Amino acid sequence: MAESEPTEHIDAIGLLCPEPVMLLHAAVRRLNPGEELTLRATDPSTRRDITHFCQFLGHDLLLSEQQGEQFFFHIRKAVS
């Protein structure tokens, strides 16, 4: 797990695409640059979608791992 403490936690368990990414997008808007959040999901497409979201918008995907049937992400908002 990354060393810094996330500002926000998103529970997208049971939600299907595009809902986890929509929740992530809304949460990132609330964060200040450099702040972090975590997201848990069960939809396998989140692995691809969250990675692309971070790459496209310049956010740091600090951790992406599967824990059983759940997917866990730790993201830092781009500093600009």
DSSP sequence for 25-47: HHHHHHSPTT-EEEEEE--THHH
Query: What's the rounded Cα separation, in Å, for the pair 22 and 32?
Result: 18
- Active centre residues (catalytic): 17
Query: What's the rounded Cα separation, in Å, for the pair 71 and 22?
Result: 16
> Taking the CB of residue 28, how many other CB atoms lie within 10 A of it?
20
